[in-house]
Amino acid sequence: MFDHFVSSVVICPILVTLAIRFLADRLRPDAAVRFLVLSLTAAAAACLVTIGAFGLKAIAELPVVGAYFHFSDRIVRADTAHEPWVSWLSVALCAVAAAGIARVWWVHRVETAAVRHFTGRSASPASSASSAFSAGGRVVLIDDDRAAAFAVPDGRVVVTTGMRAALDDTQYAALLAHEDAHLRGRHHRLILLTRLAAAVHPAFRLLTRRIDYLVERAADEQAAVRVHDRRAVARAIGAAALVSSGAAGLRMAPAAGDLRRAGAVPRRVASLLSPLRVWSPLLLMAPIGVALFDLAWTAECVWDLGELLYAAQL
């Protein structure tokens, strides 16, 4: 079974990480980000199941467990006799992954609660002029002089009066289209899946900021389609970033991303001011193919564990 550990815990996660890093800036984000995140999630799931299977094997190697369930712990240990450390290392990796997943989920719940608390303040429906860009969610205005705008996963686009006053009608429409794209694309789920995957394997931590950026770029391009003007979206992004620099006390929703992250806004604006990239869906076969192979190989790992325990029965 050791080859399964090497493949699913070492080789495939590194290959998926390299493929996503290579393709991230070479594909249209609005068309590719979902497939890249799903590939990342599949590889993380395969890794988690594999170390879980080896963790079960470690428990089965204990003489007391073998005696209780009437199988030979010696036969179980013999399967990885040349790598006796792998089973108990997997137990440690399972513990680290479980703690990381719990932490990500707790932070997600805290951030969601903070956003709901903020949006629970006095709010009013946005003007009808913006309804054409809010079909996927309800736009509400929060009475706050600080400038902020974000999409809430429950289906609302929240805009402060400070942000609304700082933007003209064209910029405001582009801003709403951007936030509505987050809701339509369920981008908060993509961000959460990326965070969970990063908790499973350290290689995936290299991708969290890149995926955050791709999610924002995907919303930019989808907004440009809605308003039929990529330059208008670029101007709205720049204006929103400038006026929101004084709103550091506000917590953005997980789906909204951080418009003020250093370097991200100029890159997004430059991308919108450049011709739309032509891309080939065949490029996605690299991470998707590795992830599918990893899942199949993991299924065989679980099958091999079952056969090993069956063969060890007394």
The confidence band for 131, taking pLDDT boundaries of 50, 70 and 90, is very low
Please return the burial class of 43, using the count of CB atoms within 10 Å of its CB with bins 0-12, 13-18 and 19+.
Answer: buried
Q: What is the DSSP letter of 138?
A: E
Q: Give dist(CA 222, CA 237) in Å, integer.
A: 13
| Other Cβ atoms closer than 10 A to 268 | 24
Count structural domains, the chain.
Answer: 1
pLDDT digits (tens, 9 = 90+) for 195-226: 999 999 999 999 999 999 999 999 999 999 99
Give which of 182, 181, 144 is closest to 164, Cα–Cα: 144
Q: Give dist(CA 103, CA 200) in Å, integer.
A: 12
Q: What is the DSSP letter of 6?
A: I
pLDDT score at 242: 83
pLDDT score at 314: 67
Segment 251-278 shows an average pLDDT of: 65
Match 């290689």 to its residue by tokens: 203
The confidence band for 247, taking pLDDT boundaries of 50, 70 and 90, is very low
Report pTM: 0.85
Alpha carbons within 13 A on the beta-carbon side of 209: 6
| Higher pLDDT among residues 246 and 1, named by residue | 1
* 76, 309 contact by CB (below 8 A): yes
- Please give the share of the chain, as a percent, with pLDDT higher than 90: 49
Segment 131-137 shows an average pLDDT of: 45
pLDDT digits (tens, 9 = 90+) for 268-312: 888 888 887 777 778 889 999 999 999 999 999 999 999 998 888
Domain encompassing residue 96: 2-311
Q: Mean of the per-residue pLDDT values for the chain? A: 85
